């Protein structure tokens, strides 16, 4: 396959470089080796208050190699694709391996675990051949729509358009070689409503692999304006314990916290509150989380993980019970388990939505806090303790009473997961972790 003009190399060129790297590693004495060859390019523009603020172009390439001398591993990388640089990189990795301690868990995946043979096209590559002038127009339309949506929008942090694409080849001495091109496009707007002490900022964005699947610039700008204006007049609230409703985009972040705690490195280092929880109920019975890595054009689709292991659909959580962790080959061996093909992270997580709209979740909550923004990173994955700065809306009688700011919310992820009262049907489809809003029975709110 020949690459489009925006990419500098054909996939055949990258494949040959990967094959030459493995051959040279073998010739120099490596007992096994793996390599990744990649390139990426893109452009980004930000328009602020109608004027072009920043224009960025990026073009990168890289070759990384891991070589094994028995159970000793050495890794090195370069951004130079020349034969000389490739050989020096392999030799550097071998030099590192010679001084590395033996690790019985080190090594390539077993051959039967690899994604060998023909693989389906997942429709991940949709380049956007727009000029910078066209990109500026789209970013400007986004920002102009925010200003036009409400006169209380006084300032802007900018409308932004970014378009990125790349390709890679992953190969190892077990006979695996695979790779593909991919693209991702992004449109966002961040605006400020009000003046002085009444200033409030919020934003909105749209992202997709296909440029024609992005929200219209006007829709992104208008939503950013609505969210900023809605936060005007924010107040502090009295501290106490109340129900908390995490808006869908923030609930996706709670799924991210779950994935981290259920991943290999924290588990085998005994630094996760989810250690030894396989087969146990950690969520309510209505909670079912699926991993679907083969969805066409989805943001985290892949036929194989970063080690070449074939990905597969699975239920990570079924009826509240943890069915599987997120493991690469090394962490699986450390835990005496099988790899789950998650080298590189999770691949398209989908939480089964509930029957409730956001409005019905508010009515079910009655009195409490709707969180629409989180600040800082106060998560202890060893204990599960959770404490974040937050902003959002105070709810009385099942309806929004007023916006709130400068508060904290605190709890423990173990308790938060177990005490999810309901999941919304307002699924945020912009993330690789798709979920509706989460209503949690009780958290501590501080001012």
Yes or no: say if 170 and 65 are a contact pair by the CB < 8 Å rule: no
At 354-402, the pLDDT tens digits run: 999 999 999 999 999 999 999 988 999 999 999 999 999 999 999 999 9
At 315-367, the pLDDT tens digits run: 999 999 999 999 999 999 999 999 999 999 999 999 999 999 999 999 999 99
What pLDDT does residue 236 have?
87
- What does the alpha-carbon distance between residue 276 and residue 348 come to, in Å, rounded to a whole number? 24
Domain map of the chain by residue range?
11-229, 234-447
At 42-67, the pLDDT tens digits run: 999 999 999 999 999 999 999 999 99
What pLDDT does residue 3 have?
38
- Confidence tier at 196 by pLDDT (50, 70, 90): confident
Closest to 45 (Cα-Cα) out of 213, 159, 212, 142:
159
Please return the burial class of 58, using the count of CB atoms within 10 Å of its CB with bins 0-12, 13-18 and 19+. Answer: exposed
For the chain, the helix, strand and coil percentages under 3-state DSSP, each to the nearest 5: 25, 40, 35
Beta-carbon contacts of residue 269 (< 8 Å; ≥ 6 apart): none
- What does the alpha-carbon distance between residue 184 and residue 197 come to, in Å, rounded to a whole number? 38
Element (H, E) at 331: helix 329-334
Q: E-assigned strands of 176-233?
A: 177-193, 200-208
Q: Measure the N-to-C terminal CA separation of the chain; round to a whole number of Å.
A: 58
Question: What mean pLDDT do residues 88-116 have?
Answer: 97
Cα 348 to the center of its chain, rounded Å: 9
- What does the alpha-carbon distance between residue 47 and residue 231 come to, in Å, rounded to a whole number? 23
Element (H, E) at 316: strand 314-318
Question: What mean pLDDT do residues 398-412 have?
Answer: 96
Q: How does the average pLDDT of the chain come out, rounded?
A: 96
At 228-277, the pLDDT tens digits run: 999 999 998 989 999 999 999 999 999 999 999 999 999 999 999 999 99
Please return the burial class of 79, using the count of CB atoms within 10 Å of its CB with bins 0-12, 13-18 and 19+. Answer: exposed
For 11-229, CATH number out of 3.60.15.10, 3.30.2290.10, 3.40.190.10, 3.40.630.30 equals 3.30.2290.10
What pLDDT does residue 238 have?
87
Structure letter (DSSP) for residue 231: T
């Amino acid at each position: 396959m020949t690459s489009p003009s925006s990419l500098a190399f054909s996939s055949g060129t990258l494949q040959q470089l990967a094959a030459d790297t493995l051959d040279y590693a073998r010739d120099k004495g490596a007992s096994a080796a793996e390599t990744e060859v990649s390139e990426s390019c893109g452009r980004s523009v930000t328009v602020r208050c109608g004027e072009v603020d920043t224009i960025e172009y990026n073009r990168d390439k890289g070759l990384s190699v891991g070589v094994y001398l028995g159970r000793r591993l050495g890794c090195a990388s370069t951004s130079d694709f020349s034969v000389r640089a490739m050989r020096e990189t392999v030799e550097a990795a071998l030099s590192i391996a010679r001084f590395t301690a033996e690790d019985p868990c080190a090594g390539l995946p077993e051959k039967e675990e690899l994604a060998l043979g023909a693989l389906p096209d997942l429709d991940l590559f949709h380049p956007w051949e727009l000029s910078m002038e066209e990109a500026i127009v789209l970013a400007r339309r986004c920002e102009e729509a925010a200003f036009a949506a409400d006169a209380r929008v006084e300032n802007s942090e900018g409308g932004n358009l970014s378009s990125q694409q790349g390709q890679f080849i992953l190969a190892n001495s077990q006979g695996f070689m695979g790779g593909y091109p991919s693209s991702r496009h992004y449109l966002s707007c961040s605006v400020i409503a009000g003046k002085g002490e009444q200033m409030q900022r919020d934003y909105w964005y749209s992202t997709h692999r296909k440029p024609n699947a992005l929200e219209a610039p006007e829709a992104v700008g208008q939503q950013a304006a609505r969210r900023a204006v809605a936060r005007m007049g924010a107040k502090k609230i009295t501290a106490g314990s109340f129900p908390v409703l995490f808006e869908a985009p923030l609930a996706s972040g709670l799924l991210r916290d779950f994935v981290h705690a259920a991943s290999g490195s924290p588990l085998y280092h005994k630094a996760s509150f989810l250690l030894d929880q396989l087969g146990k109920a950690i969520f309510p019975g209505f909670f079912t989380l699926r991993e679907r890595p083969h969805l066409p054009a989805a943001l985290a689709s892949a036929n194989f993980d970063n080690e070449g292991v074939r990905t597969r659909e699975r239920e990570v959580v079924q009826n509240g019970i943890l069915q599987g962790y997120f493991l690469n080959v090394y962490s699986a061996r450390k835990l005496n388990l099988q790899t789950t093909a998650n080298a590189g992270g999770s691949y398209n997580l989908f939480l089964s939505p509930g029957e409730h709209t956001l409005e019905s979740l508010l009515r079910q909550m009655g009195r409490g806090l709707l969180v629409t923004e989180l600040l800082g990173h106060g998560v202890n994955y060893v204990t599960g303790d959770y404490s974040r700065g937050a902003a959002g809306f105070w709810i009385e009688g099942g309806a929004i009473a007023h916006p709130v700011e400068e508060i904290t919310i605190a709890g423990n992820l173990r308790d938060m997961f177990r005490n999810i009262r309901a999941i919304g049907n307002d699924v945020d489809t912009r993330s690789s972790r798709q979920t509706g809003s989460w209503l949690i029975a009780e958290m501590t709110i501080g001012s």
